[in-house]
Amino acid sequence: MSDVLSVAYPWIKALHIMSVIAWMAGLFYLPRLFVYHTEQSEPGDSRDSVFQVMEYKLLRYIMQPSMIATWGFGLLLVMTPGIVDWGSVWPYAKLAGVVVMTWFHMWLSARRKEFARGANTRTGRQHRIMNEVPTLAMVVIVLAVVVKF
């Protein structure tokens, strides 16, 4: 198993990065959709239903599969011999970043369900502020895996 992972390492890393890109696209775009949904429609109007379909499809068909793929390929990289030095700080910083990213995904999913019930309580400004969470987590994660402090 270890030999296979070592040989496949560059391929697994490439697949990991592709999955990350797809997941991040959704993590950045869904909160923007929530801003427009809040500011440009009322519950029950025609734009409300269009936003609901966009949000559902983005989460269900792009973000959920790419999050699972990111975790799957990421864990294979963790299991690859010689890749993670648990004596360094960077693996823990990366773990903290991905926990925040995963929590944010769940938070967005809960907000989508609120919009679907016509029960959003947050303002466009609050959704704009939350939009910064994935940016901050991304900075921590990329510095951790590239600089490896």
Q: Which residues bind ligand HEM (CB under 6 A)?
A: 13, 16-17, 20, 24, 70-71, 74-75, 77-78, 83-84, 98, 101, 138, 141-142, 145-146
Using an 8 Å Cβ cutoff, are 105 and 63 in contact? yes
Q: How far is the CB of 59 from ligand HEM (least distance, A)?
A: 16
Nearer to ligand HEM, 16 or 111 (CB): 16
Work out the burial of residue 37: count CB atoms within 10 Å of its CB; fewer than 13 is exposed, 13-18 middle, 19 or more buried.
buried
113 annotated ligand-binding residue: no
Q: How far is the CB of 137 from ligand HEM (least distance, A)?
A: 7
Nearer to ligand HEM, 62 or 138 (CB): 138
What distances in angstroms separate CA 31 from CA 2, 14, 79, 113, 142, one per listed residue? 40, 27, 33, 13, 21
Q: How far is the CB of 140 from ligand HEM (least distance, A)?
A: 9
Q: CA-CA distance, 55 to 109, in Å (whole number)?
A: 9
105 annotated ligand-binding residue: no
Q: How far is the CB of 90 from ligand HEM (least distance, A)?
A: 9
User: Which residues are annotated as part of the binding site?
Assistant: 16, 94
- What residues are designated binding site for heme? 16, 94
